[in-house]
Amino acid sequence: MNVNPSFPIEAETPVRRSAFLEWVKKRRWFVIFVIAPTVLAAIYYGLIASDIYISESRFVIKNPDQKRGQVSTLANLVQTTGLSGSQEQTNEVLAFVQSRAALTSLEKNAGIQAKFASGQADPFARFPGPLAKDSFENLFKYYKKMVSARLDSETGTAIIEVRAFTAQDAYDINRRLLNLSEEMVNRLNSRAQAKGIAEAQKQVDLATERAKAARVALAQYRNAKALIDPDKQAGGALEIANTMIAERAALQAQLDQMQKVTPRNPSIPALRNQVNAISAQIASQDSRVVGTSNGIASKIGGYENLLVEQEFATESLNAANAALVQARAEAQRQQFYLERVVDPNLPDMPLLPKRLIDILVVAAAALFLYFIAWMFVVGILEHAPED
């Protein structure tokens, strides 16, 4: 084989390298903004990014006193149990799951920070990140990225989703959160029951004081006016007066008869005095009831007002006692309870990251931004002055 000494094989490599460098230099912006990010994404997601396991659980909050229809689907079941009070309880539980209180409890009982700082996680995914400080607030922000709690509007179920770097960690955190949610529902029940009993007891105390005040006022009025029951006392006075009126009528008839038959009868003056005396007694009995400022009739209005107040206060006390008994009976049974629809699962394979999809997303985003910038630059150059 004859080799031309003026074109050695070793010279081909610098020529190819020079052509490659020329191509890179000519398309340097495309290499920097498209190829480089794609290569870095491929290196990270292909070789560095750690696996992430996802554990999911579902639950609903129900009221045992609410009616349940004969339905088959879970959505209809939740709707028939009513979402007014249960919906409010569910929202409170979901807010708690993503709160600092839940994170604090997880840190005390499950050591969640150690799980998020697992050595199985890559430096960019674990807590704290390369540029983040190891603080509770940063841990809380990281926690909200790894734990989500939401309501599925289609089925009416609440969903807790936990991400972790091992399947067991994801399962443990989700199970602990579900237990904390159930404990919170029980606390809300206890708080509502205690509040209901306290409010009912307050109403009983107020009604008792009112009834006592009404009785005292009525007793003071009786002592001040010197009467027990004005209706009965007025009735007694009128009954006496009516009896004496009948007696006076009989005596008056006898007197009139005697004056006609025997005008000089010596018994006439005595009979007349007896009629006058009875008339005076009748007037006295009438004056006890009516006709004077101290009469029973003038006292009946105030007495009846106090008597009505006493009766109303007694009825209010009876109603308040019945409400207290009912509140205590309600406290004996649970108003709301958390029912687990789906227990936390122990994932058998990582669901994140979706390596190929993530690389393609980075490449597509970089290419899209590159073409936007390129069109922008071309537009500027086309409208730039030629000089």
Between these two residues, 111 and 57, which has the higher pLDDT value?
Answer: 57
pLDDT tens, residue by residue, 81-129: 444 467 888 999 999 999 999 999 999 987 899 999 988 899 999 998 8
The pLDDT, as a whole number, for residue 384 is 66
Give the CATH class of 53-197+333-350.
Answer: alpha beta
The pLDDT, as a whole number, for residue 263 is 80
Supply the DSSP symbol for 315: H
Residue 315 φ/ψ, nearest 5 degrees:
-65, -40
CA atoms of 46 and 50, how far apart (whole Å): 9
Residue 68 reports pLDDT greater than 50: no
Residue 267: its H or E element: helix 267-289
Q: What is the mean pLDDT of residues 307-325?
A: 87
The pLDDT, as a whole number, for residue 218 is 75
Q: What is the mean pLDDT of residues 30-51?
A: 92
Compute the half-sphere exposure of residue 200: CA atoms within 13 Å on the CB side of its CA. Answer: 20
Q: What is the mean pLDDT of residues 311-325?
A: 88
The pLDDT, as a whole number, for residue 75 is 44
pLDDT tens, residue by residue, 219-232: 777 776 667 666 66
Residue 345 reports pLDDT greater than 90: yes
Per-residue pLDDT band for 28 (boundaries 50, 70, 90) equals confident
CA atoms of 325 and 323, how far apart (whole Å): 5
How many other CB atoms sit within 10 Å of the CB of residue 50?
18
The pLDDT, as a whole number, for residue 232 is 64
pTM: 0.65
Between these two residues, 208 and 236, which has the higher pLDDT value?
Answer: 208
The pLDDT, as a whole number, for residue 334 is 58
CA atoms of 273 and 266, how far apart (whole Å): 12
Mean of per-residue pLDDT scores for the chain: 81
The pLDDT, as a whole number, for residue 152 is 92
- Measured in whole angstroms, how far is the alpha carbon of residue 44 from the centre of its chain? 46
Q: What is the mean pLDDT of residues 13-32?
A: 77
pLDDT tens, residue by residue, 132-183: 899 999 999 999 999 999 999 888 899 999 999 999 999 999 999 999 999 9
Per-residue pLDDT band for 299 (boundaries 50, 70, 90) equals low
The pLDDT, as a whole number, for residue 163 is 96
CA atoms of 59 and 218, how far apart (whole Å): 59
Locate the domains of the chain by residue range: 13-48+356-383, 53-197+333-350, 225-331
User: Which range among 37-51, 94-108, 274-288, 369-383 shows the weakest confidence by mean pLDDT?
Assistant: 274-288
CA atoms of 118 and 113, how far apart (whole Å): 9
Per-residue pLDDT band for 290 (boundaries 50, 70, 90) equals low
